[in-house]
Amino acid sequence: MSEKIKLHDKTFKLFIPNGEIEKAIDAVALRLNQDYKDCTDEHPAVLLCTLNGAVIFAAELLKRLTFPLELKACKLSSYSGTSSTGVVKTEVPLPRHLEGRRVIIVEDIVDTGNTIVNMIEQLKAHQVADARVCTLLLKPEVYSRDVKLDYVAMEIPNRFIVGFGLDYNELGRNIKDIYVLDA
C-alpha cells in the first residue's frame, strides 16, 4: 500500500485502506443475507452489477452471500474525467426477463443519484417485484434524491476517489485500497 499514487496527470493519497473496505462489505453482506434468506432456487434474487465500477465490490459481495441468486450486469455512465456530466447514458442495457424478480442493484458509488434514479425507472418499466440499492460508497453531501439506498457500506465526503473499482479515465480500478485526489 503506497501513501500516494499517480494516474494520468493527477496524484492521489491513501484514503481508505482495504481492511476497512472489507469490514464494511462484511456488514452489508450480513444484512443482505438476513433480508434475502427466504430466496429459493425457484425464486432467486438478481444481483445487478453496474459496470465497470461495481465489478470488484460485486465480486467481494458475492463471496459473502449465502442465498440463491443470479448475477447480471448493465452499464450506465454519467462521468467524464473527475466530474458528472449530469446525463446518464445506457451503454449496456438492463438484462431481459426481470419481470416479477427481486433485484439488488450493486453500485460502486452514489453521489448525485442520477444513475440510480435512471436504473430504478428502467426496472419499474421491466415490472420487477422489488428493487433495492446496495452501494459501497455514498456521498451524502450531494445525494438529494428520493430513491432509498437500502444498503450503504460507507459514507464519504464529496471528494474524487479512485481504487477498488473506481477509476480516473479508466485507470486505478485494480488498486485494492481507495485513494482521494491530493489537492
Can you tell me the mean pLDDT for 154-165? Answer: 97
Mean pLDDT of the chain: 93
Residue 103 has pLDDT above 80, yes or no: yes
What number is the average pLDDT over the span 37-45?
96
Each domain of the chain, given as residue ranges in start order, spans 18-147
Q: How many CA atoms lie within 13 A of 41 on its CB side?
A: 0
Alpha-carbon distance 87 to 80, whole Å? 10
Other beta carbons less than 10 A from residue 183's beta carbon: 7
**The pTM is what?**
0.93
Neighbours of 82 (CB within 10 A): 13
- Of 56 and 89, which is predicted with more confidence? 56
Is 111 assigned a catalytic role? yes
CATH topology of domain 18-147: Rossmann fold (3.40.50)
> With bands split at pLDDT 50, 70 and 90, how would you rate the model's confidence at 141?
very high
Does the structure show a pLDDT above 60 at 49? Answer: yes
Give the position of cell 458528472: 84
For 182, the grid coordinates are 491530493
Determine which one of 108, 111, 167, 177 is catalytic.
Answer: 111
Mean predicted confidence (pLDDT) in 118-124? 94
Please give the pLDDT value at position 133. 98
- Tell me what pLDDT residue 85 has: 63
